[in-house]
Chains A and B, each alone.
Chain A
Amino acid sequence: EAGVTQFPSHSVIEKGQTVTLRCDPISGHDNLYWYRRVMGKEIKFLLHFVKESKQDESGMPNNRFLAERTGGTYSTLKVQPAELEDSGVYFCASTTWAPGGNTIYFGEGSWLTVV
């Protein structure tokens, strides 16, 4: 079974440019999450999709970040325009739903460097 895949694995862009990160969850996983780790800090929740709907986007830092999940399959996270403080690792994770709890599966992350 394929895991959660993320693209690109590394990206270096200039301040003010736009970057789009993509996440392909495990097939059949309705729940998709984006997390971010700024260098040296904790991994922080950004948002949660259930199928194509945004269930919780309380962690999105500002309106320069736009996440979509058209059709409830893969998701994209666009940063426009990118700022220096956006540098970090962006993780995607997915899971099925289980009332008592379940394991979520993370991708390898997309490393973003804004220069």
Chain B
Amino acid sequence: AQSVSQHNHHVILSEAASLELGCNYSYGGTVNLFWYVQYPGQHLQLLLKYFSGDPLVKGIKGFEAEFIKSKFSFNLRKPSVQWSDTAEYFCAVGQPGTYKYIFGTGTRLKVLA
């Protein structure tokens, strides 16, 4: 069965620190990969997505993610976090042609001012 693992459940960083959130998935076929963010009191928003092509994907708000097929990973990175990045981050996997996503359990990021 497909699954998505997010290894960090809670992360606390100071402003300007670098961020890397891990995401690994288990699925042997072609996948679409996503990172979503949910700010307090808001809806899930798409940060970035990978369908094909360049494995280094740039998203909104300075976030990027790298798809490493051999490692089944799609880690999220940001060089310098801000207090406003405090949120919960979800990695998700979907098969091309479907929007039936498999989500990870989420990572709560708290950035200290």
Instruction: Write the residues of chain A forming the contact surface with B, with a CB cutoff of 8 angstroms.
Output: 3-4, 31, 33, 35, 40-45, 48, 56, 59, 91, 93, 95, 99-104, 106-109
Taking CB atoms and an 8 Å cut-off, the chain B residues in 55-113 that contact chain A are 90, 92, 94, 96-97, 99-106
Q: How large is the interface on B (under 10, 10 to 19, 20 to 34, 35 or more residues)?
A: 20 to 34
User: Assuming A101-B32, A103-B49, is B4 touching A42 (CB within 8 A)?
Assistant: yes
A55 and B36 alpha carbons, distance in the complex (Å): 24
* A48-B46 in contact (CB<8A): no
Taking CB atoms and an 8 Å cut-off, the chain B residues in 1-47 that contact chain A are 4, 32, 36, 41-46
A94 and B102 alpha carbons, distance in the complex (Å): 16
Contact among B42, B92, B94, B105 with A108 in the assembled complex (CB-CB below 8 Å): B42
Residues of B close to A56: CB separation below 8 A: 100
Name 8 A/B residue pairs within 8 A (Cβ), A-sorted. Answer: A41-B105, A43-B106, A100-B96, A102-B99, A106-B44, A106-B45, A107-B43, A108-B42
* B43-A106 in contact (CB<8A): yes
